Structure 1
Amino acid sequence: MSGDAKHGEAGDAGIWERLWKTGALHSCAGAFRENYDGALAAFWTARFGALEDGAVVLDVGTGNGAIPLLAKDAARARGVAFRIHGADIADIDPVGSCPDGARRYEGIEFHPRAPLEKLPFADASVDLVCSQYAFEYARRDAALAEVVRVMGPRGQAGFVLHARASLVCSTALEQLEHCRFLLRESGLFAQARGLAQRLVAAGPDGPARLVADQDTERLRVALNASAGEVQRRMAATQTRDMLAKAMHIVSTVLAEAPRNPPEVTLPWFDRAVSGLADEERRLQALDAAALDEAGMVALREAFQAHGCRDCDIGVLHHERGPLMGWTLVVANGPA
């Protein structure tokens, strides 16, 4: 979600905490408006379908609990009940952060500040460990040992992991290029903040009063040129989210600056720009965490070395064809 940032490193938890506090259910909002569906949901439904009534499910790197909600729905559809947990290194609070959280997450217990390398569960206490786009961010050997430790004698683990050749990763690389341009090359945000400061200081009649101000006019011309370059980039790519978000931030701060005091307008702008910087760091972490085929084979062999059987590697494709990620299903103990 630090070029090699990991969920297991507490220093980077903040970039995830700030995302989850927005109420986002997951980090793939551009692809899924609600919870995961299609091949991703089908993969998890298959895992939940093998569980007995009363089984303990633990989702690691849970964020705001997208996978626990899928587990809850799957149990309800079968007329059974699972004991569902979600753990994350971030200081998560899905019940408080998400709309209608108390009802939505009823029956799910969350564990904030719980890294993959140190899970707050007893040995052999979990029937199914889940992880979607999370395990690969952790320190592999320590996280793997913890997953194996908490799995029950007949426990299983299911993983969806970032694949180096996936649509997710190629999109992330494009978004990283847009972030680099916006945050370090374009001058867009510095120009917008400078113009907003002038508008705030001038008050409600500021736009009219500043028409003849030469410094303001120079800022406006520079900002228009930067915004024009952003728009040209938007026209040349299908990955427009970062660019469109930047334009929204700039247009909003300039529209609100004459109406609001500086203690409202400028801190809002700074938080919005910091949010883009957080997104950049999460994208860098994703790029560093993605696995190629050799990495997946090494991961499978590491689980096998810990006594796991039936370590099956697979792939997930979006309904329209693009690769979404790797899957790995493992089972603990003897056959």
Structure 2
Amino acid sequence: MEKSFEPWAHYWQTMNSHACVRVNDGEYREELESVWKPYFSKLAPNSKVLDVCVGNGAVSRMAVQVSIDSELSHEVTAVDGASINKEYVERDEWLGKVNFVDETNIEQLPFSDQPFYLIVSQYGIEYTNTSVTLPEIARVLKQSGELVIVAHDKEGLSVIAAQNAHDYLISVLDKSRFFSVLKAYLEHLCLERKNIPFKPSDALLQLDKELIKAKKIVEQGYQSVDSKDIAHNVISVVGHMLSNHQDFELDDMLAKVSDIENALEMHRKRLNLCIESALDQESLANLFDIVRSIHLKTIKNEVLLDSDNQIIARLLHFKKISD
């Protein structure tokens, strides 16, 4: 698996279906459903649909639901460069009817020319090398077929949330020294707790002060909706470990701390990909240059807004025309 897919593979393996920041995952479901469902319902019966950069299938799931509810018998295929959580998919009534093809190179789709009537992507295409992936998508799109993309917009709420959470993780992982101080504290604590009666050394007391100081930086996450879940999880797990340290061996505690640190670093990388890949005016202009070169006609280019007129994402709709 390519390194760039590792953060997303970790995310999908932990049974998430939407991107980009977990706190926003379900917040705009109705707005996004209102975008996608009309595209699926207007298709002719027995149409083939391809979901590119599918994740764990939020859009594919909608396609299957519409197909079954409207008795359209669509055939839904979904591809992604990352690995997905197959147990999560198989347990879902709708996703079990999707043909998932994960760990697939989006730049070389494993399909013949022009089998798909509709190709969709939600929060995915913008992460790829569009100069390669868009021509490849056009290759497998039928004549007069449609490509619909919902992409992260640089000014969108999910990207702003990602930036806030990313900045917080930088402070936790780097600036606070929280994990390095915690590991040193645990090493001293486990060595000294053998002493009876237990009396903390000056070194342990100094580390305790440093840990309290670092913990305050972690707790700053409670002040933001974009990072409060992260802060809560870290403080809860570490607090339980410290309160019950007599029940754990040092190696087990150090391994747990490293697991938490690695998970947060993977999350930070995923957020950074979201931020870097979001469409701005320059990347959007480049995308339209590619689109024109591969004979896709632009039908829609608009921002999706929430009830407060704040940007959720960007909607792009193209139709394949004759060469």
- TM-score higher than 0.5 here? yes
Per the alignment, do residues 19 and 273 of structure 1 end up closer, same or farther by CA in structure 2, a change over 3 Å counting? same
Matches of 1:136 and 1:83 in 2, distance apart? 25
CA contact (8 A) 1:206 1:258 kept: no
5+ residue gaps in structure 1? 1-8
Q: Residue type of the partner of 1:299?
A: L
Per the alignment, do residues 121 and 184 of structure 1 end up closer, same or farther by CA in structure 2, a change over 3 Å counting? same
Matches of 1:257 and 1:24 in 2, distance apart? 32
Q: Deviation at 1:243?
A: 3.3
1:218 pairs with 203, 206, 227, which one?
206
**Secondary structure at the counterpart of residue 115 of structure 1:** coil
1:51 pairs with 34, 43, 51, which one?
43
Residue 248 of structure 1 is matched in structure 2 by: 236
Please list, as runs of the form range in 1=range in 2, the aligned pairs for 1:164-203 lying within 5 A after superposition. 164-200=154-190
1:86 pairs with 78, 81, 87, which one?
78
Residue 227 of structure 1 is matched in structure 2 by: 215
Q: Could you list the per-position Cα deviations for residues 246-268 of structure 1 after superposition, in whole angstroms to 9, with x for gaps in the alignment? A: 32343243245432334533222
Residue 31 of structure 1 is matched in structure 2 by: 24
Instruction: Please tell me the root mean square deviation across aligned C-alpha atoms, in Å.
Output: 2.6
1:113 pairs with 103, 114, 126, which one?
103
Residue 139 of structure 2 is matched in structure 1 by: 149
CA contact (8 A) 2:152 2:278 kept: yes
Q: Deviation at 1:83?
A: 1.0
**Secondary structure at the counterpart of residue 30 of structure 1:** helix
Matches of 1:209 and 1:90 in 2, distance apart? 53
TM-score by length of 1: 0.86
CA contact (8 A) 2:37 2:62 kept: yes
Q: Deviation at 1:221?
A: 1.6
Matches of 2:251 and 2:75 in 1, distance apart? 46
Matches of 1:206 and 1:229 in 2, distance apart? 31
Q: Deviation at 1:109?
A: 1.1
Per the alignment, do residues 252 and 75 of structure 1 end up closer, same or farther by CA in structure 2, a change over 3 Å counting? farther
Residue 296 of structure 2 is matched in structure 1 by: 308
Residue 239 of structure 1 is matched in structure 2 by: 226
- Aligned pair count? 321
CA contact (8 A) 1:179 1:280 kept: yes
Per the alignment, do residues 80 and 211 of structure 1 end up closer, same or farther by CA in structure 2, a change over 3 Å counting? farther
1:328 aligns with 2:319: no
Matches of 1:121 and 1:268 in 2, distance apart? 43
Q: Residue type of the partner of 2:167?
A: E
Matches of 1:81 and 1:211 in 2, distance apart? 72
Q: Deviation at 1:59?
A: 1.0
Matches of 1:285 and 1:199 in 2, distance apart? 38
Matches of 1:74 and 1:201 in 2, distance apart? 61
**Secondary structure at the counterpart of residue 234 of structure 1:** helix
**Secondary structure at the counterpart of residue 258 of structure 1:** helix
Per the alignment, do residues 199 and 70 of structure 1 end up closer, same or farther by CA in structure 2, a change over 3 Å counting? farther
Q: Could you list the per-position Cα deviations for residues 268-318 of structure 1 after superposition, in whole angstroms to 9, with x for gaps in the alignment? A: 221221111111111211121111234324323421221112432011122
CA contact (8 A) 2:162 2:271 kept: yes
Matches of 2:148 and 2:25 in 1, distance apart? 21
CA contact (8 A) 2:78 2:98 kept: yes
The more displaced of 80-89 and 138-147 is 80-89
Q: Residue type of the partner of 2:107?
A: E
The more displaced of 71-80 and 156-165 is 71-80
Matches of 1:154 and 1:186 in 2, distance apart? 55
Q: Could you list the per-position Cα deviations for residues 19-40 of structure 1 after superposition, in whole angstroms to 9, with x for gaps in the alignment? A: 1111122234312349x62211
Per the alignment, do residues 99 and 254 of structure 1 end up closer, same or farther by CA in structure 2, a change over 3 Å counting? farther
Matches of 1:218 and 1:281 in 2, distance apart? 32
